[in-house]
Every structure is written in structure tokens, then in C-alpha cells.
Amino acid sequence: MNADVFIELCVCRHALQSTLEGYRTSRVACEQYLSANLHLRILTVADFHELPAPVRAEVEKFFGTTTGLTVMKGIEYGETTFEIRGKKDGRTVEVTCDPAGKRIE
């Protein structure tokens, strides 16, 4: 894989291992397969420029900058969200958006 991937699993290790045995494909295909077939949440480290335009606009409006942000793309039950962590008013905060740029509380 080209990116760091963090997986939160709600299945036993042996079930996951047998499910993925011999599964060699792209990161995106793997994320889609896993999120559709197992109850898990996949977080992938992403770059700010990879965010959809509405998410980039909302994040820039919320933080007032595009620098110093940690961007994670999350997939759970086939639904994609974007989690962005950064400094706002001197504190580290996190905002989660759907692909349309709507903030999720």
C-alpha cells in the first residue's frame, strides 16, 4: 500500500486473516471490499489536495488555513467521511465532513 491505513476491527483476527488471504489489489478496492463485507472502520492518511472541493472549502473556512492539518479518509459501512485535525483558537480540534462538505457532529 502507498498510504498508511488504520483499521478498527469488530471481527476476530482469524476471520479477517482467512477473508483477506490471497487478496492482492489496490488500496481503494481493498477499502471497498472490507467496508462492504466486514463491520470495520478504515482510516487512510490523505493529503489535503485529495479532498473533494466542498470538503476543502469547509475545512479552510473552519480552520482558517490549509496548513498544519492532519487529514484522514474514513470508510465505514460503505459510507465515506473525512476527518481533519488541526489547531483552532490555540487548541487541537477535529472536524468530520461528508463528501459534500457538510460537517458531521
* pLDDT confidence tier of residue 46, bands split at 50, 70 and 90: confident
What are 70-103's pLDDT values in tens digits? 998 888 777 889 999 999 999 999 999 999 999 9
Q: Where are the domains of the chain?
A: 5-104
**Would you say 71 and 80 are in contact if contact means Cβ atoms under 8 Å apart?**
no
DSSP code string of 36-71: HHSSEEEEEEE-GGGS-HHHHHHHHHHHS-SSS-EE
What are 19-39's pLDDT values in tens digits? 455 555 555 666 666 656 655
Please tell me the chain's helix, strand, coil percentages from 3-state DSSP, rounded to the nearest 5: 30, 35, 30
